[in-house]
Amino acid sequence: MSFTPNLSHIHEDDDEIRRILSASGTELPPLLPALAYALGDLTLLVEDLWLDPAKSLEEQGGWTLEQQELCREIALEGIRRLRAGESRHSDFTDKDLHTIMSWACGTTLDGAYLEMLREELSPENRDLRAPNWSRKDFSTNRDFTVAIIGAGMSGILAAYRLKQAGIDFVIFEKNSGIGGTWLENTYPGCRVDVSNHVYCYSFMQKHDWPHFHSTQEVLLQYFNECADHFNIRDNIRFSTEVSSAVWEEASGQWALELESEDGEEVFHCNSIISAVGQLNRPAYPKIAGRELFQGPSWHSARWNHEEKLEDKNIAVIGTGCSAIQFIPRVAEQASSTTIFQRTPNWLMPRPQYQQELPENLLWCFDHIPFYNNWFRLHLFWRSHEGLLPRLEIDPGWDGSEDNSISASNHELGFMLRLYLESEFSDTPELLEKVIPDYTMGAKRFVIDDGLWATTLKRPDVDLCTDQIAEITEEGIVTENGNLHKVDAIIYGTGFKASEFLTPMKIVGRQGLDLHEQWDGIAQAYLGIVSPNFPNLFFMYGPNTNIVINGSIIYFSECEAHYITRYIRYLLEHDIAALDVKKEVHDEYNVRLDEGNAQMAWGASSVNSWYKNADGKITQNWPFSLLEYWEQTREINPNDYIELQ
C-alpha cells in the first residue's frame, strides 16, 4: 500500500487510451476535473457536461451516451497533453481550483461548503485539517497530557493531531494491536460497506486500494500503516484497559485506573479522549435458555476460527450488516445453514461491492495525477449530502401505502423494492420474506451485489422468519413449536451501541457518575463533551453516527479538529479545564431530538441499534455533514465554564 501516488509515465497510444476510457468501470465524471487540475486548464470543463445533482445516483453521473463520448474525447486530448509532458502552469490560482470543484459537484460552491469539500478533496494529499498551531506558541508552563482510550480509527487520528500540535499523549488500548473494530471483527467476508476511497483519512488517501470496498485484512493493514506513518506506535500501551476515570477537583486532573498483565495502576492526565467506538461490545440476544445449548456458539465480533463448519448444521441469529457478510461464507462450508431473521433489510444494490478495481480504473489512478482525490470528491458528491433529504419527513406527504415519508423516499424505496423483486423473481416465497414493510432508511441499508439472493436460494440454506421462543440443549425452538436442531449457533446480533463507554466507570465533578447522569440516555454537546466532565472528550460519541450520507471517518476528523481547538484554547488562556454549560448542552440536544424526529429512523418504530432500550435515538446525527463541520470548527468560549 502506498499513500503517495508514484505516477507512471503514459506510454499508451491513443487507441489504447480510448480503450481504457471506454472500458466499463472507468468513472468518467472525475476524469475532467482531474485533468483540468493537472493541466491547469479550465476549458476542459465544458458546459454540456455540467453534472445534475438530481442524477447523482445514476451511473456516470446520469450522463447520456453522447455526453459520455464527449467526456472521453476531451479526456483523451487531456491525456495526450500529459503524455507530451505538459503540467499545470504556475499562475493557477485557488479560484481556479474552486471552479474545478464546483464543476465536479455540479453546484456553484462557496463559503463553508467549499472549504469543507476542499478539505475532503485534500488536493495533492495536503493535510488541510492539521492543527495550524503548536503548543510552543503559548507561554503557559502547565503540564498538559492527554490519555486516549482506544487505538482504533479515531484514537490514532486523535493521537496524530495531538502529536502535530506538540501535545503529550498516551494511548491505552485493551487489545494487543491497533485497529479497533478492524482488529476485532475477523469473521469471514468482513469488509467495509462504505466506498473505500471515502472510508480513509482525507489526508491519507490511497490510490491503490485493491477493491472498491476493502476487506478487513486490508483495512487493518491500512490503519497499522497509518499509525506507523504517524509515528505513534511507541505512545501506545497495549493490553491495557482503562477501568475507571475520576476527576480530581483539587488537582484539576483525571486519575485513570488501568488494568493490565502487570496489575493495576493509576495514571494522571489533564484530559481524556475516549475513542472506544460505538460498536465494540457484542450484544447477545435475551433469549430464554441461551446458556443451555450444548454445541459451540459465538458472536460475529468474536469469531471462533478453531471451529470448523464443514459437516455441521449451523444456525445464525440476525441478518444485519455483519450477518449478511458472513452468512454466504458459512453457507459455502456448512452442511446446512438456518438463518433466523427478525426484520428484513433494505438492500442497496452495488454491483462492484466485492469486485477488485478494474485494470482500466487502476490505470487512471496510476497515470492521471491525483485522479483518486477527484474520484473521492465524486463519490462524496454522489453518495453524501444528496442522499440525506431522501430520509427526511415531508409533513405533506401521504405515505400510508408503503410507509414512505416523502416523494423522494417513496421513489428510492420503489427502486429498492424493484431490486428485491428482480433478485427474488423466481422464488416468490423468499421474496415475501425479504421485502421490508418499514420506512426505507429507518434502519441501516445493507449493501448487496446479488450474493444475498444467491445464498438464500441455496438448497442447504433456510431463511426462517418464525420468531424464536427459546434455545435448548439441541438448538432453537420457534414460537410455532418447531425445534431446529443445530450443531452450532452464530450470533450476528450486533452491539451494545447505546451503552456508550461501558463498562468504564467515569466520575466527574462533585462525584457525579457519567452513567448515572445519562441514566440510559447518552447525550453530549456536539457528541463530544458532557457537563460535569471537564476535558473529557468522546469520539464517535452520542448522536454522531450517520445512516446514509458518508463515512464515519469524516466525523472523527471533525471531532479531532474540535478537540485540538479546545486544547489550544486552554493553553492559550492558561486555563486548567473547561466544563460545558448544562443549558448549552440541553438546548443542543433538544434541537438534535427535533432533528431526529424528522428523519426516517425517528419516525419508524422498527428495531434498530440507533435507539436505546426506550426507543430514543441516541446514535444518529440528523443534519447535514456540512452542519457538523461548521459546528466543530471552533470552540465558543461562551459555551463553557472555565475551571482554574
Among 165, 323, 456, 571, binds ligand NAP (CB under 6 A): 323
Count of chain residues binding ligand NAP (CB under 6 A): 26
Among 153, 440, 468, 528, binds ligand NAP (CB under 6 A): 468
Q: Cell numbers at residue 158, please?
A: 486523535
Q: Cell numbers at residue 642, please?
A: 472555565
In the complex, minimum distance from the CB of residue 322 to ligand NAP, in angstroms, rounded to a whole number? 3
Residue 604 found at the interface with ligand NAP (CB under 6 A): no
Q: Are 392 and 598 in contact (CB under 8 A)?
A: yes
- Grouping H, G, I as helix, E, B as strand and the rest as coil, residue 19 is helix
Residue 322 found at the interface with ligand NAP (CB under 6 A): yes
Q: Which residue has the cell 472549504?
A: 115
Residue 383 found at the interface with ligand NAP (CB under 6 A): no
- Grouping H, G, I as helix, E, B as strand and the rest as coil, residue 464 is strand
Residue 287 found at the interface with ligand NAP (CB under 6 A): yes
Number of neighbouring beta carbons within 10 Å of residue 343: 16
- Site stretch for ligand NAP (CB under 6 A), options 36-44, 202-210, 338-346, 572-580: 338-346
Number of neighbouring beta carbons within 10 Å of residue 260: 14
Residue 279 found at the interface with ligand NAP (CB under 6 A): yes
559 contacts: CB under 8 Å, gap ≥ 6: 154, 158, 526, 527, 528, 537, 538, 539, 540, 541, 544, 632
CA angle (469, 302, 614) in 5-degree steps:
50
- Site stretch for ligand NAP (CB under 6 A), options 165-173, 336-344, 379-387, 480-488: 336-344
Residue 328 found at the interface with ligand NAP (CB under 6 A): no
Query: Judged by CB, which is closer to ligand NAP: 254, or 445?
Result: 445
In the complex, minimum distance from the CB of residue 601 to ligand NAP, in angstroms, rounded to a whole number? 12
Query: Judged by CB, which is closer to ligand NAP: 103, or 438?
Result: 438
| Window 191 to 230, contacts with ligand NAP (CB under 6 A) | 191-193
- Site stretch for ligand NAP (CB under 6 A), options 330-338, 405-413, 492-500, 509-517: 492-500
Distance CA 539, CA 148 (A): 10
Among 44, 272, 317, 405, binds ligand NAP (CB under 6 A): 317
Residue 609 found at the interface with ligand NAP (CB under 6 A): yes
Among 188, 318, 475, 531, binds ligand NAP (CB under 6 A): 318
The helix (run of H) or strand (run of E) holding residue 306 is none
* Beta-strand pair 336-340/313-317: parallel
Interface mask toward ligand NAP for 419-458; x: CB under 6 A: -------------------------x--------------
Query: Judged by CB, which is closer to ligand NAP: 285, or 450?
Result: 285
Residue 304 found at the interface with ligand NAP (CB under 6 A): no
Number of neighbouring beta carbons within 10 Å of residue 55: 15
Q: Cell numbers at residue 543, please?
A: 448522536
Among 68, 337, 493, 556, binds ligand NAP (CB under 6 A): 493
- Using a 10 angstrom Cβ sphere, with 0-12 exposed, 13-18 middle and 19 or more buried, the burial of residue 66 is exposed
Q: Indicate the residue whose CB is closest to ligand NAP.
A: 320
In angstroms, the Cα distances linking 203 to 3, 126, 395, 590, 642 are 9, 6, 40, 34, 33
> What is the sign of the dihedral through the CA atoms of 293, 285, 309 and 483?
positive
Residue 333 found at the interface with ligand NAP (CB under 6 A): no
Q: Cell numbers at residue 529, please?
A: 463533551
> What is the sign of the dihedral through the CA atoms of 630, 599, 349 and 64?
negative
| Window 22 to 61, contacts with ligand NAP (CB under 6 A) | none
- Grouping H, G, I as helix, E, B as strand and the rest as coil, residue 326 is helix
- Site stretch for ligand NAP (CB under 6 A), options 76-84, 186-194, 530-538, 565-573: 186-194
In the complex, minimum distance from the CB of residue 325 to ligand NAP, in angstroms, rounded to a whole number? 6
Residues contributing to the site for ligand NAP (CB under 6 A): 191-193, 279, 285, 287, 300, 317-323, 325, 340, 342-343, 444, 468, 492-495, 607, 609
